[in-house]
Structure 1
Amino acid sequence: MDVLSDLLVRARAGNTRVRQLIQRPPWSVTYADPPPLTVVATLGGSASARFDDAGAAAVRLAPADIALVKGPGRHTIADDPSTPPGFVIHRGRKHFPGGGEVAAQAQRISAPRTYGDSLPGATVMLRGAYELHGDAGSRLLDMLPPLAVVPAGPRTQPALDLLAAEIARDEPGQDAVLARLLDLVLVLALRAWCAGPQAVLPAWYRAAEDPAVGDALRLMHDDPARRWTVAALATEVGMSRAAFAARFTSLAGQPPLTYLTGWRMTLAADLLRDTDATVATVARTVGYDDAFAFSVAFKRARGTSPSVWRRKCVDTSAPRATRPGSEPG
């Protein structure tokens, strides 16, 4: 599995939500505590997106543009930057700007997962929310700035059209269909962003485009527990040891086994957070026969022992309070 695919699979914690928002100007929605990653796409009309930090500039979204928004920063989507606050989404519920929750019966639900009315001049938007988590999620989010806008294009448009066609359906397996279509939109948007001149890409993304180094990265991600050596990786990709080591280091910004150790520590951190596996079991899973050697490597990478890391994760974890179907997006 290639690196980006592996990160997408491992970072997903479920609870993917897709909503269609239909708003007639003037309108404004503020997301007070958004998820780690939000995908916003304009289907009809235009909109603006901005973070609510002082001095943050608004970004215009033309029809079929896609915005990738990183949480947890408070941000606002509106028809125009000058539109005053309309509603605030906090903890999955809709509130008035001055406080007070909007009653569920007062929210206009015109179709499954669709909020608003299809009136003339309305802006139609899709909003997908990803509850990414863990160190794998952090690696994925490191690819993006806080707000990345991908202009409409010939590859993203058909995916958006298909997602828009499915959003209001309510058939067996519909949630699975929408989750996979949202994944398609996300991957195409990520590719388009990374291909643009404005992207500051992580070294592994650039390195993955090289046939030999990309194959080596795929091997390490497919089997991180294998006792890889530089010589073994070089043999697998059909290069001499010296040439492979130099090429990998030049493109990835670090030697092959340094990358492998970093990836193993990412996997270990998430296993310690998300499972009850013993430290020894986690060590073997990521390629260490000796739990002590693993603990030393983990502390060097994370600044704390595996056991302390696990306790800190338990102490700081707090589930997001959401009520299914209660939030307009």
Structure 2
Amino acid sequence: MDVLSDLLHRARAGDALVRQLVQRPPWALTFADATALTVVATLGGHAAIRFDETGAAPVGLAAGDIALITKVGEYTIADDASTPSQVVIRQGRKYRADSGDPVERQGWNLAPRTYGDGLPGATVMLRGAYELHGDVGGRILAMLPPVAVVPAGPRTRGALDLLAAEVGRDEPGQDAVLHRLLDLVLVLALRAWCARPGSDLPSWYRALADPAVGDALRLLHEDPARRWTIAALAAEVGMSRAAFAARFAGLVGEPPLTYLTGWRMTLAADLLRDTDATVAAVGREVGYEDAFAFSVAFKRARGVSPSRWRRGAD
């Protein structure tokens, strides 16, 4: 499994909520408790995303554009940046922005996972909300600014059309279909964003394009508990030890075993948070036979012992 796929898998990015809006302007929806990562796509018409809490400049979306939204607590999607909010969505429930009263479901739901008025001239929007998990999820979020807009293109359009065709259906296995299609849209959008000239990306992502270093990163992610040495990694990718070590450090920004330690600590942090495994068992899972050595490494990386980290996560 390649590194980005591994991160998405470990962050549990497959359990997402997918919804479609078909609404004639003027319209504006405020999402009061934003998820860690939101995918917004304009299928027809145009839209704007604004951030009333921070005062950041609104972002416009044309038909076929995809926006990836992170690191914000609240945002509004509207037909125009100046349209006042009409509906506030909080904890999955819709309330009128002017009165705070719940929005009646009758007349609002058009089809499964589809809401709005469905009148001629409507804007059509898709929204997928991800709750990324733990420190691994943080690595994905670190790749993105608060809003990343991916312009419409032939590679993303086909995936969006498939997702739009499925979102209003209610057939056996429908949730699985929607999750996989949304995952496809997300990965294509991430690729497109990261491929932009001058993108400010983590060094490890840029290093994936190098055949030898990219293979080494894949190996470290596939088997982080293995007793890796620089010589072993170099042999796996067909390079001399010295040349591999210099190439890896030059592209990734740190030596291979330093990167491995950081990845192990990321995995350990999530295991301590999410499981009841003993500290020693977590240490073994990430490559430390000695519980004391693991505890020392974890405290050096996180500033607290594994036990204190676990108590703080409860």
TM-score (norm 1): 0.93
Q: Is the 8 A contact 1:41 1:65 kept in 2?
A: yes
Structure 2 residue aligned with 1:229: 229
Distance 1:220 1:249 in 2: 15
> Aligned ranges for residues 55-70 of structure 1 at < 5 Å?
55-70=55-70
Structure 2 counterpart SS, 1:129: strand
Distance 1:259 1:16 in 2: 30
Structure 2 residue aligned with 1:323: none
For residues 69 and 183 of structure 1, do their structure 2 counterparts lie closer, same or farther at Cα, with a shift above 3 Å needed? same
Structure 1 residue aligned with 2:210: 210
221-230 or 6-15, larger mean C-alpha shift? 6-15
> Aligned ranges for residues 283-322 of structure 1 at < 5 Å?
283-314=283-314
Distance 1:292 1:54 in 2: 45
Structure 2 residue aligned with 1:45: 45
Q: Is the 8 A contact 1:42 1:65 kept in 2?
A: yes
- The percent identity for this pair of structures is 74
Report the Cα offset of residue 104 of structure 1: 4.1
For 1:3-23, what per-residue CA distance to the aligned partner results, in whole angstroms no more than 9, with x for missing partners? Answer: 100000000166411001111
Q: Is the 8 A contact 2:32 2:73 kept in 1?
A: yes
Structure 1 counterpart SS, 2:57: coil
For residues 151 and 14 of structure 1, do their structure 2 counterparts lie closer, same or farther at Cα, with a shift above 3 Å needed? closer
Structure 1 residue aligned with 2:274: 274
Report the Cα offset of residue 58 of structure 1: 0.8
Report the Cα offset of residue 55 of structure 1: 3.3
Distance 1:71 1:106 in 2: 33
Structure 1 residue aligned with 2:12: 12
Kindly provide the amino acid, as one letter, of the partner of residue 39 in structure 1: V
Q: Is the aligned partner of 1:105 residue 2:80?
A: no
Distance 1:25 1:36 in 2: 28
Task: Please list every run of 5 or more consecutive structure 2 residues that lacks an aligned counterpart in the other structure.
Answer: none
87-96 or 74-83, larger mean C-alpha shift? 87-96
Structure 2 residue aligned with 1:88: 88
For 1:194-251, what per-residue CA distance to the aligned partner results, in whole angstroms no more than 9, with x for missing partners? Answer: 0112521001100111000000000000100000000000000000000000000000
Task: Please list every run of 5 or more consecutive structure 1 residues that lacks an aligned counterpart in the other structure.
Answer: 315-329
Structure 2 residue aligned with 1:32: 32
Structure 1 residue aligned with 2:183: 183
Kindly provide the amino acid, as one letter, of the partner of residue 252 in structure 1: V
For residues 14 and 154 of structure 1, do their structure 2 counterparts lie closer, same or farther at Cα, with a shift above 3 Å needed? closer
Structure 1 residue aligned with 2:256: 256
Structure 2 residue aligned with 1:317: none
Structure 2 counterpart SS, 1:155: helix
For residues 49 and 290 of structure 1, do their structure 2 counterparts lie closer, same or farther at Cα, with a shift above 3 Å needed? same
Q: Is the 8 A contact 1:203 1:251 kept in 2?
A: yes
Structure 2 residue aligned with 1:239: 239
66-75 or 212-221, larger mean C-alpha shift? 66-75
Distance 2:198 2:63 in 1: 21
Structure 2 residue aligned with 1:151: 151
Q: Is the aligned partner of 1:163 residue 2:167?
A: no
Distance 1:66 1:214 in 2: 28
Structure 1 counterpart SS, 2:102: coil
Kindly provide the amino acid, as one letter, of the partner of residue 258 in structure 2: T
Q: Is the aligned partner of 1:127 residue 2:127?
A: yes
Q: Is the 8 A contact 2:72 2:146 kept in 1?
A: no
Kindly provide the amino acid, as one letter, of the partner of residue 30 in structure 1: T
For residues 198 and 164 of structure 1, do their structure 2 counterparts lie closer, same or farther at Cα, with a shift above 3 Å needed? farther
Structure 1 counterpart SS, 2:81: coil
Q: Is the 8 A contact 2:14 2:180 kept in 1?
A: no
Structure 1 counterpart SS, 2:152: coil
Q: Is the 8 A contact 1:17 1:129 kept in 2?
A: yes
For residues 60 and 198 of structure 1, do their structure 2 counterparts lie closer, same or farther at Cα, with a shift above 3 Å needed? farther
TM-score (norm 2): 0.97
Q: Is the 8 A contact 1:229 1:257 kept in 2?
A: yes
Higher relative contact order (CA 8 A, sep 6+): 1
Kindly provide the amino acid, as one letter, of the partner of residue 313 in structure 1: A
Structure 1 residue aligned with 2:173: 173
Structure 2 counterpart SS, 1:57: strand
Report the Cα offset of residue 118 of structure 1: 1.9
What is the total number of aligned residue pairs between the two structures? 314
